[in-house]
Amino acid sequence: MHRAGRVKQRALGRSTRRGFVAMADLYLKAFRHWFDSNEAFLAQNGVRVSLLRECKDQTNSIAHAEVETEHSLGDVSLWEYEEGYALTDTDFVEIATEEFHPEHHELHSPQELSLLLSKFVLQMVEATRPLSP
């Protein structure tokens, strides 16, 4: 391959990686933003975030949160892929009954993440509320 071809190939590789980094930041930013902007909502519902972490490598980005209430333990994991979509696993266990509630989702835009996280927290809170006599 001649020099111009190698330069073009390297430039394309860099722009692809830059595009991935920019795209990857969308899901990770949405993940962080949801937890930051919903601190009051979480506190009002007795939900504590005990761990929130993220990591990136050459091919994907990962975010993870561990959440808990007085009566349940849960976590959310997000895997973002270069193709522009993300996979999430949400699950929680009710401590008293040991009932496990796992769900798996494929997201096609970062905007879907907000609804998913809100739904997950509400399910977790509702499942652990005692039934009225």
DSSP symbols for 29-59: HHHHHHHHHTHHHHHHTT-EEEEEEEEE-SS
Q: pTM for the whole thing?
A: 0.75
- Does any domain span residue 66? yes
Coil, helix or strand at residue 22:
helix
What's the whole-number average pLDDT of the chain?
80
Q: Return d(Cα 14, Cα 23) in angstroms, integer.
A: 14
- Structurally, how many domains does the chain consist of? 1
- Does any domain span residue 19? yes
- Does any domain span residue 133? no
- Does any domain span residue 118? yes
- Does any domain span residue 43? yes
- 88-128 per-position pLDDT tens digit: 999 999 998 999 999 999 999 989 999 999 999 999 998 86
Sheet holding 100-107, edge to edge: 48-56, 60-68, 72-81, 86-94, 100-107
Residue 66: domain span: 3-128
Coil, helix or strand at residue 5:
helix
- 34-47 per-position pLDDT tens digit: 999 999 999 999 99
Answer whether residue 3 shows pLDDT above 70.
no
